[in-house]
Chain A
Amino acid sequence: MSGVVHTNTAELFLVGQDASNMMGDPAGVCYPTSTAEVQEAVRWARAKGMTFIARGAGTGLAGGAIPTAGSLVICLTKMNQIRSIDVARRSAWVEPGVLNADLSRRTSRHGLHFAPDPSSQQSCTIGGNVANNSGGPHCLSEGVTSAHILALEVVLPSGEVCILDAENSLFDLRGAFVGSEGMFGIATAIEVRLVQNPPHVSTMVVGFASVHEGAMAVSAIIAHGIIPSALEMMDAPITRAVEEYVHAGFPLDAAAMLIVEIDGLEHSVSHGSLEVKDIVHRFGATSFRVAKSSAERALIWKGRKTAFGAIARIQPNYYLHDTVVPRKKLAEVLSQVSIIAAQEQLQVMNVFHAGDGNLHPILMFDKRVDGVMDRVHRAGSEIVRVSLEAGGVLSGEHGIGLEKRDFMRWMFTENDLLFQQKLRSAFDPEGISNPHKVLPRGSGCADMSSIPPGSWV
């Protein structure tokens, strides 16, 4: 096994990072191609007294894939086979390194797709989606990753292989594993649920004169009993940045725009769209456009999902946040976010899953400016604080990782955290699988460690 563990500086530099602003300290990296090789890697690490961390594409934003404590990085990108597709049952067994968008591309000829669609779907892996219980715009009606995972083959931290599914345990071990951020073991095969492609889709782009009116319209649509397949908001700064290079026809005069998508059978789509049109106009919509072709729809979604790339046109660095608030508090919390950014003299843009109340404020900065990181971090913790005060939660889809572990006490009691630790201990009694994540430091329940360079909480 040691023969296939790489320790050269360049590779360790690469796997020491993810899409957060942190840097880890990996001791080695290996690229298994089978369940047996993952098992061997885990056993090898155990025998050496090392901890280990599973890694997919490294697109996570909360530092969940940052190796700590000199872990062995078990990189799963070479386990990228779709093992089987069961069209009748609408399910597939896939390996963890399969890319999210590839799975939907490969199943499209059967009229099926994998519903969770994070913005990183062109590069993120299904294994990473399982670890983070990932979301995406279309999780509003379809539910997040957990609702789409039927079974898992897992290499436990002990080195044993087991299946977690609905038939072989009373407790929902599958449900407990999804979203455990790599701390319960390594998923080596994943049975996913596939969803029928909708026969009809209506995608609407609506402009508003204020963020407040847009947010009120979001609440009104849901309160009216319409569950769109996606309900996204972009504020004026990000809309302009995106429009300049995607040319999706977004309204440049609007202070906020919504993308509302309704899919399903013919009449529910046509009636739903009419109702949405009616509601948004009642809330002061300044423009309303329906995509007339699938190409137009694709361009709208390209604009939405590549929004983060557009930021480079404004500032070299950005920090993307992720909290959830009750929908009725959207307008209030968004205005607090802009005050917080102004206080720290930072530019902020918002592009987010409004229908879920899932905020994604993006703080933009140039990290070469002295002291700017302190301001970014202060603003970040204030955003978390106001979200919790509004009755919200720490994270809607990015996870806790290293980024938010020390905020966990803001949301949970010590006893809540103790029971989370008990669950972790049942899977990983020695705390060797992706140590030091999620649970806060300084309590009986955290793995003991130093903070990796670059982490800020």
Chain B
Amino acid sequence: MLKSIKEWIAVFMIIGVIMLIGNWIGYDVLPWTALPGIAILIGISLTGLIIHRLLPFQLPSIAYIGIIGLILTIPGMPGSAQIAAYTTEVNLLAIATPILAYAGVSIGRSWFDFVQLGWKTIVIGMLVLFGTFLGSAVIAEIILRFQGII
């Protein structure tokens, strides 16, 4: 457990630096301006991972991470406005780019399996993604309109 925590912290520090640099190049936020925000996000992730290890429930660790972030920033919670303000400095797109860079390197290994799939699978696969994505959006739209929210 302790080994894992050390490992997580080391990895998060590396990823954090990469995100700060991307945030600087792409979105003109100076690294020291975004530093408190990224530190908070890392703290939340770390706490979520640790809680996931400690609790016996069958919930994915990202559920804990999301819930912790949400609770910390509910209006009225002590420090919530500060946390929200700091983390706003970390652009979402700057977080996403390194994720997909690691993902790109990682999927290289699946490439040979991918090219063997055949055109039928590729067409069906695109329709699966398309249908799922559009299906969710359409249902959300219907209900939001029905409620008069949008």
Q: Are A and B genuine complex partners?
A: no
